[in-house]
Amino acid sequence: MDPYGLTRVIGQPGVLPQRAERLDPSLPLREDEMLLDVERLNVDAASFRQLRQAAGDDAVKVGAEIARIVTERGKMQNPVTGSGGMLLGRVREVGPQHPAQGRLVPGDRVATLVSLTLTPLLLRSVDTVDLSADRVDVSGHAILFASGLWAKLPPDLPEALVLALLDVCGAPALVARHVQAGARVLVIGAGKSGALCCAQAKRNGARQVIAADISAAAVARLEKLGYAEGLAIDATRAMDVHAAIVEATSGALCDLVVNVASVPGTEMASLLSVRKGGTVIFFSMATSFTAAALGAEGVGKDATLLIGNGYVEGHAELALDLIRHEPALRQLLEERFKA
């Protein structure tokens, strides 16, 4: 038995698949693995942004680079950002020792809830790259280990929406865990994750939710829906953000800051916006560990700094539940994530 997939790592014995340079996605399937026919990749925001920039926003070039990375590494792990994303596909075979045995049958549509950075992947073709939705239609196969989380797609929600949701469902789940009623919350980044986090913070009874983003349109959308006060600002400019949050909170600063920015350099804005004794959750894959750790020390801010864990028990159910109960949020995300 090999629940973490060590036998799929090429040339680095004892190294786990995520840290490995290369994985072996070849068949046959082991007894404790599951085989998926892959239809779509949802590349994580930081990685997709890097790929777009490197390719000058050319969808065909982005697709070619993804094909190159997967051929070289046997997985979709962006070598620059180190991050991945997740995928949607159909069950082809469930190994007799895989925990999904008896719960999934060939043909079932599932999304993976583990990162692409540790999922053996073999692509036959990269078909359509949707630059606006960080989404790539492909054909190929992927292998899920016994420890790998997955979700069966619910029948009542559009697949594209579900995939987009599941990709980031750890963020609203951690918000649900950390927002107390009456809290002041700042969410940095007003894209998909940001919208989910704002809506969840409201549901938890936050007294004030502020959504900060460089895009005035993005923050206006959340403001219009009543999920947040919008703050159109460049979050890499820490002192500007600090001044705006001091004003918005009458000097109290925020109890919780959730960082889901897709650009680097927003650690200090987060640290300067949280009150002494408050909490910052860094969910952005562009977060620099040293910038966060040393930054807090540098400004003498005693706050709890959390690494946004992509896995929170019940996170998929929570995100799907959130979208079912928030029609405005569903509409917003459906417009962006059309099939």
| Binding interface with a second copy (CB under 8 A) | 4, 6, 14-19, 81-84, 113-115, 117-118, 147-149, 170, 237-240, 265, 268, 276, 282-283, 285, 287-313
Give 313 or 335: the residue with its C-beta nearer to a second copy: 313
Give 76 or 225: the residue with its C-beta nearer to a second copy: 76
181 in Cβ contact with 203 (< 8 Å): no
What residues contact 281, with CB distance under 8 A and at least 6 apart?
171, 174, 175, 178, 256, 257, 258, 259, 306, 308
Give 185 or 312: the residue with its C-beta nearer to a second copy: 312
Give 17 or 63: the residue with its C-beta nearer to a second copy: 17
What CA–CA distance (Å, rounded) separates 182 from 184? 7
Task: State in angstroms the smallest separation of the CB of 315 from a second copy.
Answer: 9
Task: State in angstroms the smallest separation of the CB of 120 from a second copy.
Answer: 13
The dihedrals phi and psi of 116, each to the nearest 5 degrees, come to -60, -15
Task: State in angstroms the smallest separation of the CB of 183 from a second copy.
Answer: 18
Task: State in angstroms the smallest separation of the CB of 84 from a second copy.
Answer: 7
Task: State in angstroms the smallest separation of the CB of 306 from a second copy.
Answer: 6
What CA–CA distance (Å, rounded) separates 146 from 5? 8
Give 99 or 230: the residue with its C-beta nearer to a second copy: 99
Give 21 or 58: the residue with its C-beta nearer to a second copy: 21
Task: State in angstroms the smallest separation of the CB of 52 from a second copy.
Answer: 19
* Alpha helices per DSSP H over the chain: 45-54, 59-73, 159-167, 170-178, 192-203, 216-224, 238-248, 267-273, 289-298, 315-325, 327-336
Residue 216, token pair as written in the block: 């005035």
91 in Cβ contact with 105 (< 8 Å): yes
What CA–CA distance (Å, rounded) separates 238 from 70? 37
Give 91 or 312: the residue with its C-beta nearer to a second copy: 312
Burial of 162 (0-12, 13-18, 19+ CB in 10 A): buried
The dihedrals phi and psi of 258, each to the nearest 5 degrees, come to -110, 120
Task: State in angstroms the smallest separation of the CB of 242 from a second copy.
Answer: 9
DSSP track, 27-75:
SSPPTT-EEEEEEEEEE-HHHHHHHHHHTTT-HHHHHHHHHHHHHHHSS
Give 4 or 97: the residue with its C-beta nearer to a second copy: 4
What CA–CA distance (Å, rounded) separates 287 from 284? 6
Task: State in angstroms the smallest separation of the CB of 330 from a second copy.
Answer: 25
* The dihedral sign for the CA sequence 77, 80, 82, 87: negative
